[in-house]
Amino acid sequence: MEKFIQLVMSANDILYHDYVLYIVLGTGILFTFWTKFCQYRALTHGVAVIRGKYDREDDPGAINHFQALSAALSATVGLGNIGGVALAIALGGPGAVFWMWMVGIFGMALKATEVMQSMMYRNTKDPKNPHGGPMWVAKEGLKKMNPKLAKLGSFIGGVFCVTLLISTITGGNMFQAWNVAEITHSYFPTVPKIFSGIVMTLITGMVIIGGIHRIGSVTGRLVPFMCGLYLVAAIYVLFAKVGQIPEMLQLIFTCAFNPAESKGAFLGGTAGYSFLWGMKRALFSSESGQGSAPIAHSAAKTDEPIREGVVAGLEPFVDTLVVCTLTTLVILLTGAWNRGPEAFFEKTPTLVNATQLVVTEGDKDRTLIGKIAEKTDQHIDFLNGNPGVGEAFLRRWPLSSVKSEQKSGTYWIPETGEIPTKDRESVRITGPWAENNTIFMVARKQTLDSDTGKNLYRVYGTITPVGERLLVAWKPFESLETAAPEMAGPEVFNDFVGAALTGHAFDRVTPGLGMWLVTICCWLFAVSTLISWSYYGEQGMIYLFGPKSVLPYKVIYCALILISTCGFIKTDIELDAITAMGTGVMLWANIPIMLIFARVTMKAYADYMHRLDTGKMKGHKYPNFVDVIEGQD
């Protein structure tokens, strides 16, 4: 797994090169001016459309505008809004939020344009079950442009579907399932992570077997409820900290262009690092330019392609500018991002070479790197913290099975005894230390990290009981420098990954609020995202292999939910690497498609707006809102 993560991170260096992010942002700016600020149209005309003013029963499509928006929002308003935002702030600092806003604003134009294109070229051979998305834009668009380009269009569409399936597996599936299992287990340690995976698998399976009609029906009810629940809780925190809001907003703008200061649990980073994390997490959360949302919108009932594109412009507004912003303010206002330590060792620990233990297990030799907890004439108690071997654990090895014991040379580990007791305030918020709590301390090397521009690094450990004591199985810290690295201080920090950091932020205001609210919202957000992304992947499979591939795909999709909770993803860095790859490959495939068909799309957009502004486009009386939600309008 460690080698796989390294390979993925190397790929992400290319996928998320600075110039790629500039191109994505630049494309959003281009369509913003080309459409004469379609963001305004989304917030006015788009709202009228989803209220059912233009819905007609005999239009081609499977679900109404509101249900199409809900299905797309259920995929975008997910754990990226809870866990992804927390990840961006934890690694990029407050400045990352500014760049998230930029993606949100210009992403409205990106999302509107890609949906317009998909609606213009969607496949409506079966009017009640249409197919659409960038793959159909490439296939049908190039064919109309020049019949000789038909095969090229089919090939480009196939390439997009491959990237779509990669993103479906990673961000649409693994990220959601892993985060839910992680936060549920962190708050309720007696609930095994695999149990969460089983429940999510069953719920998702029961919904997706009914196709887009059931998905639209479920998400139409689920999305308003889950967003409302989360927003009410976030606004409660904002009222509790209302006096600090101006200061936090100023901090966001300041840190967007100047490095945020290392403080507490936040290690700091360059302004460019904030830009990178803000862009990556906002793109993942809003899916702007990714090409996924057009697949859901293509199922909408309408004979006006541009109309559904205007509706789609509301997605980044709701997702990034509303939900993500509230999450951001909760984390910043409560100080969760740069929180202080939970405990202190009596003195700063020394970093010593980790022990490399080679043991015989069955007929195989196994190499472990960690710390010897106790050694007698008969056995060795070994705290394993070997990267890539699995979760840190304590295990007793008979001396007869130990083949060799020596210092590792390049791996270092803090020499610590029993974990010190938490301070009173930390106990009030999160309770005392417990088995399998993940913690970290800060180490310092001579060389600077190429991304952050800092020489500070986190050293992770897992609390493990040894008799009556609680010791730490440290994950070895690698350093190839001639001079030994050193610990930056005696401070011990509780590690909150992704959604767990957002939950901790709520708990800092009202202990227990995060435990229940974020856990419930994580389940709702994740399940809704799993449901919608299953449909995205399904449409990719239909394009590549035909309708007969749908059932095997759904079985594999549900199985991946379960597999993601089995424990092979360990840290937020690993999690981000996997999900970022999925988003990155789709951007590379979809942005060129958008630019190729930009001119014809903008011509259709101008014609639609001319008819709307001159009164040639007539709506009807708003239907009952309950009928709109249920698709009975």
pLDDT digits (tens, 9 = 90+) for 28-84: 999 999 999 999 999 999 999 998 888 888 888 888 888 888 878 877 777 777 877
Report, as an integer, the average pLDDT of 236-259. Answer: 90
Tell me which residue of 355, 285, 243 sits closest to 97, measured CA to CA: 285
For the purposes of burial, counting CB atoms within 10 Å of the CB of 480, is it exposed (0-12), middle (13-18) or buried (19 or more)? exposed
Does one domain contain both 53 and 137?
yes
What pLDDT, on a 0 to 100 scale, did the predictor assign at position 572? 53
Q: Strands of 402-415's sheet, edge to edge?
A: 393-398, 379-384, 364-375, 350-361, 402-415, 477-478
In a domain, 632, yes or no: no
For the purposes of burial, counting CB atoms within 10 Å of the CB of 147, is it exposed (0-12), middle (13-18) or buried (19 or more)? exposed
The secondary structure of 212-254 as a DSSP string is HHHHHHHHHHHHHHHHHHHHHHHHHHHHHTGGGHHHHHHHHHH
**Is residue 352 helix, strand or coil?**
strand
Report, as an integer, the average pLDDT of 202-218. Answer: 79
What pLDDT, on a 0 to 100 scale, did the predictor assign at position 571? 59
Among the residue ranges 13-27, 102-116, 321-335, 466-480, the one predicted with the least confidence is 13-27
pLDDT surpassing 80 at residue 4: no
pLDDT surpassing 60 at residue 391: no
For the purposes of burial, counting CB atoms within 10 Å of the CB of 379, is it exposed (0-12), middle (13-18) or buried (19 or more)? middle
Report, as an integer, the average pLDDT of 544-571. Answer: 86
In a domain, 633, yes or no: no
Does one domain contain both 311 and 365?
no
Residue 537 has φ and ψ, to the nearest 5°, of -60, -35
443, 445, 449, 453 alpha-carbon torsion, rounded to 10°: 90
How do residues 598-609 score in pLDDT, each as one tens digit?
A: 999 999 999 999
Please state, in angstroms and rounded to a whole number, the distance separating the CA atoms of residues 460 and 478.
12
In a domain, 500, yes or no: no
What pLDDT, on a 0 to 100 scale, did the predictor assign at position 171? 79
Does one domain contain both 522 and 475?
no
The pLDDT mean for the chain works out to: 86
Instruction: Grade residue 575 by pLDDT with cuts at 50, 70 and 90.
Output: low
pLDDT surpassing 60 at residue 472: yes
Show the tokens assigned to 101: 């806003």
What pLDDT, on a 0 to 100 scale, did the predictor assign at position 75? 75
Any idea what the Cα angle at residue 218 is, between residues 212 and 221, rounded to 5°? 135
* Sequence-distant contacts of 122-129: CB under 8 A, at least 24 apart: 122/298, 122/305, 124/60, 127/60, 127/61, 128/60, 128/61, 128/62, 129/62, 129/211, 129/212, 129/299
What pLDDT, on a 0 to 100 scale, did the predictor assign at position 113? 96
Unique residue bearing structure tokens 């991304």: 451
Does one domain contain both 156 and 245?
yes
What pLDDT, on a 0 to 100 scale, did the predictor assign at position 578? 67
- Higher-confidence residue: 271 or 51? 51
Please state, in angstroms and rounded to a whole number, the distance separating the CA atoms of residues 439 and 432.
13
Does one domain contain both 540 and 469?
no
Does one domain contain both 275 and 311?
yes
- Higher-confidence residue: 16 or 534? 534
Highest mean pLDDT among 174-178, 200-204, 357-361, 387-391: 200-204
pLDDT surpassing 70 at residue 212: no
What pLDDT, on a 0 to 100 scale, did the predictor assign at position 235? 92
The secondary structure of 111-152 as a DSSP string is HHHHHHHHHHT-B-SSTTS-B-SHHHHHHHHHHHH-GGGHHH
Please state, in angstroms and rounded to a whole number, the distance separating the CA atoms of residues 503 and 496.
9
Report, as an integer, the average pLDDT of 245-249. Answer: 92
What pLDDT, on a 0 to 100 scale, did the predictor assign at position 481? 79
In a domain, 630, yes or no: no
Burial of 261-293, coded b for 16+ CB within 10 Å and e otherwise, reads: ebeebbbbbbbebbbbbbbbbbbbbbbbbbbbb
pLDDT surpassing 90 at residue 308: yes
Per cent of the chain over pLDDT 90 is 33
Report, as an integer, the average pLDDT of 359-379. Answer: 86
Q: How far is CA 183 from CA 175, 228, 280, 495, 519, in A?
A: 12, 21, 22, 12, 7
CATH of the domain at 569: 1.20.1740
Please state, in angstroms and rounded to a whole number, the distance separating the CA atoms of residues 284 and 80.
7
Burial of 89-124, coded b for 16+ CB within 10 Å and e otherwise, reads: bbbbbbbbbbbbbbbbbbbbbbbbbbbbbbbbbbbe
Domain count across the chain: 2
Instruction: Grade residue 307 by pLDDT with cuts at 50, 70 and 90.
Output: very high
Please state, in angstroms and rounded to a whole number, the distance separating the CA atoms of residues 379 and 401.
9
pTM score: 0.82
3-state SS of 258-324 is CCCCCECCECCCCHHHHHHHHHHHHHHHHCCCCCCHHHHHCCECCCCHHHHHHHHCHHHHHHHHHHH
pLDDT surpassing 70 at residue 438: yes
Domain boundary among 495, 524, 544: 495
**Is residue 7 helix, strand or coil?**
helix
Instruction: Grade residue 574 by pLDDT with cuts at 50, 70 and 90.
Output: low
Q: How far is CA 90 from CA 94, 177, 184, in A?
A: 9, 21, 20
Instruction: Grade residue 570 by pLDDT with cuts at 50, 70 and 90.
Output: low
In a domain, 247, yes or no: yes
pLDDT surpassing 80 at residue 439: yes
In a domain, 520, yes or no: yes
How do residues 8-30 score in pLDDT, each as one tens digit?
A: 777 777 776 777 778 888 999 99
Does one domain contain both 327 and 444?
no
Does one domain contain both 610 and 577?
yes
Instruction: Grade residue 381 by pLDDT with cuts at 50, 70 and 90.
Output: confident
In a domain, 53, yes or no: yes
Does one domain contain both 288 and 156?
yes
Among the residue ranges 434-448, 462-476, 560-574, 601-615, the one predicted with the least confidence is 560-574
Which residue range is the domain that position 46 belongs to? 2-336+507-625
Going by their DSSP bridges, the two strands 350-361 and 364-375 should be labelled as antiparallel
Tell me which residue of 347, 309, 288 sits closest to 491, measured CA to CA: 347
What pLDDT, on a 0 to 100 scale, did the predictor assign at position 384? 80
Does one domain contain both 539 and 469?
no
Does one domain contain both 179 and 50?
yes
Domain boundary among 495, 530, 562: 495
In a domain, 323, yes or no: yes
pLDDT surpassing 60 at residue 388: no
Show the tokens assigned to 439: 């913690």
Q: Does an H or E element contain 519, and which? A: helix 513-545
- Higher-confidence residue: 154 or 584? 154
Show the tokens assigned to 365: 């030799």
Does one domain contain both 548 and 573?
yes
257, 262, 263, 265 alpha-carbon torsion, rounded to 10°: 110
Instruction: Grade residue 440 by pLDDT with cuts at 50, 70 and 90.
Output: very high
pLDDT surpassing 70 at residue 582: no
Residue 53 has, within 13 A of its CA and on its CB side, a CA count of 14
Instruction: Grade residue 628 by pLDDT with cuts at 50, 70 and 90.
Output: confident
Report, as an integer, the average pLDDT of 176-187. Answer: 82
What pLDDT, on a 0 to 100 scale, did the predictor assign at position 200? 93
